[in-house]
Chain A
Amino acid sequence: GEDVEQSLFLSVREGDSSVINCTYTDSSSTYLYWYKQEPGAGLQLLTYIFSNMDMKQDQRLTVLLNKKDKHLSLRIADTQTGDSAIYFCADDDTDKLIFGTGTRLQVFP
């Protein structure tokens, strides 16, 4: 079956850039997504990228997509303590999304 994988943890200093990586197996995805989950809450969509794009920028967020390697990344510029959360990448399948395992981002002063 389809699979989406992420590293489990990332720790960065406040003000630095964070890069969260994701690999996926489904070559027929139309969109790929990044979701954010704050403690004790549901997930919120951060951004998404259409599969025929290789980059999307949205304020402090930059999404890079390498379709050949099936690699997706999320870069957060000037990371703040409020960015501490779990970040999930996801790709679309018929009628549902396939989520990665989530990367816990910890931002320290």
Chain B
Amino acid sequence: SQTIHQWPATLVQPVGSPLSLECTVEGTSNPNLYWYRQAAGRGLQLLFYSVGIGQISSEVPQNLSASRPQDRQFILSSKKLLLSDSGFYLCALVGDREYYEQYFGPGTRLTVT
């Protein structure tokens, strides 16, 4: 079965510091991978998605970036965090592209102070 790991689970970072969130998946090969952000009390915002190694599509221009160095690894980064980057970050995968069920990881709660 497919499993998504995200770490860290929680993170508190000062404004202007760098960020690196990691997502790794198991039980599937060549998945589509996604990064979402959920601000407090808000819906899901799709940030980036990847259909393969080195292929990144950006949905929202901002100070974040994503990379996919390996088939089952997806990394979300920032050089300088803003207060508005606070939120709950979710990684998701699609293994079966026929009916596009997305599996979500447990999330990382980021607080920028």
Contacts and interface: CB of A to CB of B under 8 A. Distances in A.
Interface of A: 30-31, 33, 35, 40-45, 48, 88, 92, 95-97, 99-102
Interface string B27-58: 00000101000000011101001010000010
Given A43-B90, A95-B32, A95-B49, A31 B100 contact: yes
Q: How large is the interface on B (under 10, 10 to 19, 20 to 34, 35 or more residues)?
A: 20 to 34
B71 to A, nearest CB: 16
Interface of A is mostly: strand
Given A96-B49, A102-B43, A31 B90 contact: no
B102 interface: yes
16 contacts: A30-B100, A31-B99, A42-B90, A42-B105, A42-B106, A44-B104, A45-B101, A45-B102, A48-B99, A88-B43, A88-B44, A96-B34, A96-B49, A100-B43, A101-B42, A101-B43
Among B42, B49, B99, which residue has the most Cβ atoms of chain A within 10 A? B99
A46 to B, nearest CB: 11
Contacts of A43: 44, 90, 92, 102, 104
A43 B88 CA distance: 12
A32 to B, nearest CB: 10
